Chain A
Amino acid sequence: MSLASLTKDWAATSYGFLDASAKRELRRKMLKAIAVPGCQMPYASREVPMARGWGTGGLQVTLTLVNSASVVKVIDQGADDGVNAASIRRFISRVSGAAETWDTLSATIVQSRHRIPEEIMREDQVLVLQVPNPEPLRGVEPNISIARQMHADADYGKLWLTLYEQIVRKGRIMQGASYPAMVNGRHVMTPSPIPRWDVPKLNMARHLTFLSAGREKRLHAVPPYTRVEPLVFSDRPYQVEDHADLTCRRSGVRGFFMNELPQDGGGSVFEVSDSNLGIKAIDKADGSAIEIGETWYRNGEYSA
């Protein structure tokens, strides 16, 4: 028996682009990340045909999870039709045979940058977030070795100190995105650059969330039904962005996270950030039989 008889025949590509050993490593790290919610797991980030910083971390997790029965949705800043989102989605589909979709309800894997869809995700769905900086302590502790010790000791006082400073200087907490959140009462994570609006959606969520940083070679996870509590002072409640009263100028939906479009003359108009929600609302108003799922926010109030 020769070694060649035990191995598979050479092929120009392997299924799902990544080679088997890379996927095995990622699977192990993903399982570890689920076992210790919010704790960052290092992994060997592979080359993918995309520059680091453009979602390579999320892409590697998606390529590991994907199979031919998967339905993949990719969001960039809430939109499905951005160049980056469209390219990633088409790439995943080409290397795995998975179906593509824009609809949150029909997707099995949602890879996203900056947003969590407004429609509530289910147990059978996985959210993969692309993370530029997985380390919540980076701003307060540049030394990565010390930062790891601080995680081990649950020494997060300096993060609260950052919030204290913001209140002292500006009168309110200014942290807009990457708002630090305590996962399962133990590890503080930075939930990628999702806005404050989206952080409550992770708390006791039905779906599994992976947050993966390809350039930083680390991933962490929020398993289903896990507590995610943004860091706050006991007398300064957590506040999401002031978007509850804004109306989308195209679709007319109201009470969701909006993109602000500055206009000549100083004013601005708003469009719903989760673009597919807007499209579905327009189609529904036109009389199509479109199902809009339950949303995390109703009338601008979080209620899940």
Chain B
Amino acid sequence: MSLDLGLPALERAAPRLMRTEPLLNMRDISKSYGNVRALRDVDAAVYPGEVMGIVGESGSGKSTLLRMMNLEDTPDSGNYTLRLPGRENENLFDLTRYERRMLCARNIGIVYQNPHLGLLMKHSSSGNVAERLLIAGERSFEVLRDKAREALDASEFPLDRMDARPIELSGGMQQRVQLAKAIALEPALLLLDEPTTGLDVSVQALVLDTLKRLQRDRKITMVLVSHDLGVIRTMADRVMVMRHGEVVEQGLADQVFQDPQHPYTQQLVHAKL
């Protein structure tokens, strides 16, 4: 965070309209893989009900950051808190494996770019959704089925195929199953790692539509990682631009796209338009 252009610092300060405390707060996250510094003193804050977009080129550290938000990876140093009841000031990186798993299952949903990472391909789609509920301790078959149906319906998955295996489904459908699985327990935080990359443009638009509607109806807090500025532009309220493991610029989406301050962001926006 060593950007000094003599401009009002947009990076650290929350937008003035935000009066609430952030739901997600990451401070000074650093991570190296051998000689490669994947993340360098990254700060991030996500407010309840907003969509935070993270853009950046391949290798900029955006996926590493998202993996840490999902507690799949721990940094070399840094602090991560989520404003969940009873856990306000707890550094989540200090949790044990068991606590981490329970916390993730109940409070964090994730959609991966590659559905093979997020889904059990040989189980039914409804079973994939039900697994989340099973981890949370639901033991009634009828309830499992109803809730799975509800979540699949909310992600606009055709219910007549709810018992088809994901491997038999199209890419867009697989992403919808992932989404249903992620929202089944009504998580506080939904992480989206390139959710529409690899889908054709029309399907991409449909999936984004679903995401937007979900966001509107349920006010889910989302973090959306993408290298596609178009996707970020449609979805995100605020944007974080990453490069070489650092956040080079962040602010309201419109602001960043209309009036990029950092040379890299300018390049990026320019390249897109």
Contact = CB atoms under 8 A, between A and B. Distances in A.
Given A161-B134, A164-B144, A149 B139 contact: no
Contact of B140 (A153, A169, A234): A234
A105 to B, nearest CB: 39
A174 interface: no
Interface string B206-223: 000000000000000000
B140 A233 contact: yes
A236 interface: yes
A273 to B, nearest CB: 30
B98 A161 contact: no
Given A160-B134, A235-B140, A236-B141, A149 B127 contact: no
B124 A149 contact: no
B123 to A, nearest CB: 6
A interface: dominant SS: helix
A230 to B, nearest CB: 13
B90 interface: no
A233 to B, nearest CB: 4
A152 B99 CA distance: 12
Nearest to B163: A168
Contacts of A167: 141
B interface: dominant SS: helix
Interface string A250-277: 0000000000000000000000000000
Given A169-B163, A233-B139, A233-B140, A155 B127 contact: no
Given A153-B97, A168-B163, A161 B126 contact: no
B259 to A, nearest CB: 48
Interface string A127-148: 0000000000000000000000
B101 A233 contact: no
B105 to A, nearest CB: 9
B32 to A, nearest CB: 25
B135 A157 contact: yes
A155 B131 CA distance: 11
Interface string A153-167: 101011011001101
B139 A160 contact: yes
A169 B127 CA distance: 11
Interface of B: 97-98, 101, 120, 123-124, 126-127, 130-131, 134-135, 139-142, 144, 163
Interface of A: 149, 152-153, 155, 157-158, 160-161, 164-165, 167-169, 233-236
9 contacts: A155-B101, A160-B134, A161-B130, A164-B134, A169-B124, A233-B139, A233-B141, A234-B140, A235-B140
